[in-house]
């Protein structure tokens, strides 16, 4: 009898390498077919051999020699030797483009030995290393990677470590946006559905693309200067010839331009110029922008075009994202900029002149945007505060004067160029940064609100900035040109706002009538400047920018002062401006749950009660009920009466002599109350000083008798409690949309 013994089944054949999905997840693969991970997630298990190792290009003897010389110089610098003066006839290589292909290690150390041997100064002068490859950059700015960089000779290896070449093989399966286990950056741009397919269906037709580009040039470019127009225009021309095969970085940039262009238009402009509603266009282009950014791996890319696209996308979000979220997004942008090394001036690393300028034009708006978002959500110092960066201001030149590959620095203008508007704003930021104290409260504004510095010293700093702006820009403004007028008004407004912030945080503001009068004049002028933009036809195209930067501090102070200032020409003008604010911001009446708007409404109604009592007294005893209020008062009272009883936390307590804190609100004054122009801070020689058109638009009845029964309103003992208002500003920012 024979017995059969069943043979043991052959063990499964293991693959020599992990499957594609496990490689992407960076988890252990059991290398079966299919593997346990793919079975778990019910996806196809695909095995592909890893790419062959790249053959390292052998460096020429000249490159090897230069690398060794750089290493020796760095060792000498580390020992405290100043190598900058070794060669008295040193070439201008710091400003020339590196000619050797491949990897470039540029040390920005250039340190100078402190005569006192101060180690802190030595550390401040260490700038790390810039890795440059095919127009992409990555800054190594800690001792670990700086020391290791000389041991990793291949540029792709270093950029791979930095995450730059992730998914560079273009395999859709490996794409972050398609992976079932990765959000592809969707925690940054919530709602993105990713997708590896073509975005062709989301692009407008070719004619509309050029219309959007022209709208961007007219409305957005002058106040952002993120793009070099000749370069981007050529990229758009090339892309429109084949919309199915646009480079990922260019496609992301194009969608950023689309969204910003539409965001700068009003509804009627969208329909008349683009043939679609604003909502439909923004919905479509925002989706395209999110998908394009995910496809371009914007979080890890070292491509400046991708970063530029991300900034444009953030600018277009201001209308739809609350301030808290937008501030987080701006922090992400700041971190990406730091990883790209934008916070270090490119000239220190020998980058090409054109790239140095483009990097400056990206860093400064990043700093400005982050500071603006931080202020709107009540935060203090920005990530860019202090002396942690040294990127210089962009040159005051036109786009036509800088080109890729240029080898000579352009001659900087003293006057108005395409960059002048942005430079005026950046000069203010530079002053605030250079004067900022270590105290993070009030962010960059601490430079002018620090009470440890006397008011006279703070005003001297602002006077010096005013003289600088006058010398470099303002005296050259021809206000018959809309862009010049924009630059002039914004420069003037910045100085007035600085003086207001300096005075409002002064101890003298509590006691000195002179300081209080100056503050009132400042706030009145700030609000008047805001309406100059709204009413001047030549600069209405930039109104989206101005309304997003409305100065709430000034408006709050104006309303607070109107509780005690009840008569006079200046008060009449102030009430006109209050009405203009309610006209231009109808949400002050329509959004009943916003705590900031409720508190402002309370201030408005209290100010009107004081005004009405004063008018009744001056008219000889006429009943207050017969005085016709501005058209925004009754809607405020009606909304107030219809709402629940006010909470004590709804409005900050603003001290008045009566001790009452009536809660009320405010609507638009009639369109007849308008300001014809802004009185000049820097009157150009070819410009007549404008005046205000005073009207009786606040609805006063003639021959009103007075009433002696009305209590008088004296100056309060205390100024505005800004700490409580800051809390409201912070709390309401989470609910408040940015209007365009």
pLDDT digits (tens, 9 = 90+) for 184-221: 344 454 444 445 578 999 999 999 999 999 999 999 99
Q: What is the mean pLDDT of residues 42-47?
A: 85
Angle between helices 267-274 and 278-295 (to 10 degrees): 80
Q: Rounded to an integer, what distance in angstroms lies between the CA atom of residue 708 and that of residue 699?
A: 22
Q: What is the mean pLDDT of residues 107-124?
A: 40
Position 629 scores a pLDDT of 86
Closest CA to 323 of 695, 41, 730, 649: 730
When mean pLDDT is compared across 39-43, 60-64, 112-116, 168-172, the lowest value belongs to: 168-172
pLDDT at 5 over 60: no
DSSP string, 305-340: HHHHHHHHHHHHHTTTS-HHHHHHHHHHHHHHHHHT
Contact of 275 with 294, CB cutoff 8 Å: no
Contact of 72 with 329, CB cutoff 8 Å: no
Position 209 scores a pLDDT of 97
More confident residue, 227 or 587: 227
pLDDT at 383 over 80: no
Contact of 176 with 167, CB cutoff 8 Å: yes
pLDDT at 657 over 50: no
With a pLDDT cut of 90, the percent of the chain lying above it is 30
Per-residue three-class SS string for 41-55: HCCCCCCCCCCCCCC
Position 535 scores a pLDDT of 78
The string of pLDDT tens digits covering residues 437-493 is 444 444 444 555 556 677 788 888 899 999 999 999 999 999 889 899 889 988 988
Instruction: Report CA-CA distances (Å) from 417 to 223, 397, 423, 472, 682.
Output: 12, 6, 10, 11, 18
pLDDT at 537 over 90: no
More confident residue, 678 or 550: 550
Burial class (CB in 10 A: 0-12, 13-18, 19+), 119: exposed
Q: What is the mean pLDDT of residues 656-682?
A: 33
Position 636 scores a pLDDT of 79
Contact of 703 with 494, CB cutoff 8 Å: no
Burial class (CB in 10 A: 0-12, 13-18, 19+), 12: exposed
- The distance between the two most distant Cα atoms of the chain, rounded to a whole number of Å, is 134
- Output DSSP code: residue 129: E
Which pairs count as long-range contacts for 60-65, CB under 8 Å and 24+ apart, including other chains?
Answer: 60/100, 62/100, 63/100, 63/102
When mean pLDDT is compared across 411-420, 551-560, 669-678, the lowest value belongs to: 669-678
pLDDT at 69 over 50: yes
Most confidently modeled range among 19-23, 598-602, 643-647: 19-23
Beta bridge partners of 138: 131
Q: In whole numbers, what is the pLDDT of the chain averaged over residues?
A: 72
Position 633 scores a pLDDT of 87
Q: What is the mean pLDDT of residues 1-29?
A: 71
Task: Tally the residues of the chain.
Answer: 740
**pLDDT grade, residue 101 (50/70/90)?**
very low
Closest CA to 331 of 290, 299, 283, 296: 299
**pLDDT grade, residue 351 (50/70/90)?**
very high
Position 181 scores a pLDDT of 31
Q: Rounded to an integer, what distance in angstroms lies between the CA atom of residue 604 and that of residue 665?
A: 6
More confident residue, 548 or 480: 480
Q: Rounded to an integer, what distance in angstroms lies between the CA atom of residue 575 and that of residue 483?
A: 29
Phi and psi at residue 665, in whole multiples of 5°?
Answer: -145, -175
The string of pLDDT tens digits covering residues 512-521 is 788 888 889 8
Burial class (CB in 10 A: 0-12, 13-18, 19+), 130: buried
């Amino acid at each position: 009898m024979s017995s059969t013994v069943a043979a043991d089944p052959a063990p499964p054949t293991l693959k020599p390498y992990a499957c594609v999905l496990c490689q992407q997840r960076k988890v252990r693969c059991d290398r079966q077919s299919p593997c346990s991970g793919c079975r778990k997630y019910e996806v196809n298990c695909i095995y592909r051999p890893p790419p062959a190792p790249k053959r390292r290009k052998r460096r020429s003897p000249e490159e090897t020699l230069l690398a060794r010389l750089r290493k020796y110089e760095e060792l000498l610098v580390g020992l405290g030797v100043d190598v900058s003066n070794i060669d008295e006839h040193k070439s201008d290589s710091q400003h020339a483009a590196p000619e050797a292909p491949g990897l470039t290690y540029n040390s920005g150390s250039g340190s100078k030995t402190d005569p006192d041997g101060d180690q802190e100064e030595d550390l401040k002068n260490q700038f790390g290393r810039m890795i440059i490859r095919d127009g992409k950059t990555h800054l190594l700015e800690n001792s670990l990677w700086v020391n290791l960089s000389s041991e990793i000779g291949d540029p792709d290896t270093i950029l791979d470590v930095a995450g730059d070449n992730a998914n560079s093989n273009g395999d859709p399966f490996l794409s972050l946006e398609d992976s079932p286990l990765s959000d592809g950056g969707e925690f940054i741009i919530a709602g993105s559905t990713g997708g590896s397919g073509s975005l062709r269906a989301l692009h407008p037709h070719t004619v509309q693309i050029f219309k959007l580009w022209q709208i961007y040039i007219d409305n957005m470019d002058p106040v952002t200067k993120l793009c070099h127009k000749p370069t981007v225009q050529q990229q758009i021309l090339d892309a429109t010839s084949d919309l199915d095969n646009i480079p990922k970085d260019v496609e992301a940039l194009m969608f950023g331009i689309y969204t910003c262009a539409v965001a700068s238009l009003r509804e009627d402009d969208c329909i008349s110029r683009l043939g679609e509603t604003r909502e439909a266009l923004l919905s479509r282009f925002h989706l395209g922008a999110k998908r394009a950014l995910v496809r371009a791996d914007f979080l890890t890319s070292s491509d400046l075009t991708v970063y530029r696209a991300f900034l444009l996308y953030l600018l277009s979000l201001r209308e739809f994202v609350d301030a808290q979220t937008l501030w987080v997004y701006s922090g992400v942008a700041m971190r990406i900029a730091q990883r790209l090394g934008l916070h270090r001036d490119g000239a220190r690393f020998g980058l090409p002149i054109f790239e140095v300028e483009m990097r400056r034009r990206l860093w400064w708006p990043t700093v400005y945007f982050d500071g603006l978002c931080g202020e709107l959500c009540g935060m203090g110092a920005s990530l860019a505060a202090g002396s942690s960066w040294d990127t210089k201001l962009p040159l005051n030149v036109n786009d036509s004067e800088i080109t890729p590959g240029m080898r000579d620095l352009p001659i900087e203008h003293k006057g108005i160029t395409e960059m002048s508007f942005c430079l005026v704003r950046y000069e203010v930021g530079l002053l605030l940064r250079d004067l900022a104290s270590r105290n993070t409260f009030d962010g960059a504004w601490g430079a002018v609100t620090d009470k440890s510095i006397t008011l006279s010293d703070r005003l001297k700093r602002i006077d010096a900035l005013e003289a600088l702006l006058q010398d470099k820009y303002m005296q050259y403004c021809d206000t018959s040109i809309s862009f010049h007028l924009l630059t002039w008004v914004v420069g003037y407004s910045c100085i007035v706002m600085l003086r207001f912030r300096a005075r409002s945080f002064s101890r003298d503001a509590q006691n000195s009538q002179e300081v209080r009068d100056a503050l009132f004049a400042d706030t009145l002028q700030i609000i008047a400047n805001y309406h100059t933009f709204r009413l001047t036809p030549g600069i209405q195209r930039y109104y989206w920018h101005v309304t997003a930067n409305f100065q709430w501090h000034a408006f709050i102070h104006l309303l607070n002062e109107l509780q005690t200032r009840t008569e006079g020409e200046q008060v009449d003008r102030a009430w006109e401006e209050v009405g203009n604010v309610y006209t231009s911001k109808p949400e002050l009446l329509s959004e009943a749950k916003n705590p900031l708007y409720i508190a402002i409404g309370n201030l408005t109604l209290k100010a009107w009660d004081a005004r009405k009592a004063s008018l009744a007294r001056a008219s000889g005893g006429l009943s207050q009920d017969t005085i016709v209020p501005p058209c925004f008062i009754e809607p405020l009272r009606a909304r107030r009466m219809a709402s629940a009883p006010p909470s004590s936390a709804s409005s900050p307590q603003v001290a008045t002599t009566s001790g009452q804190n009536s809660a009320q609100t405010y609507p638009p004054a009639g369109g007849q109350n308008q300001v014809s122009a802004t009185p000049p801070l820097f009157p150009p020689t070819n410009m007549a000083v404008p005046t205000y058109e005073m009207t009786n638009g606040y609805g006063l009845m003639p021959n009103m008798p007075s009433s002696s029964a009305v209590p008088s309103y004296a100056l309060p003992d205390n100024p505005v409690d800004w700490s409580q208002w800051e809390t409201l500003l912070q709390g309401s920012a989470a609910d408040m949309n940015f209007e365009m």
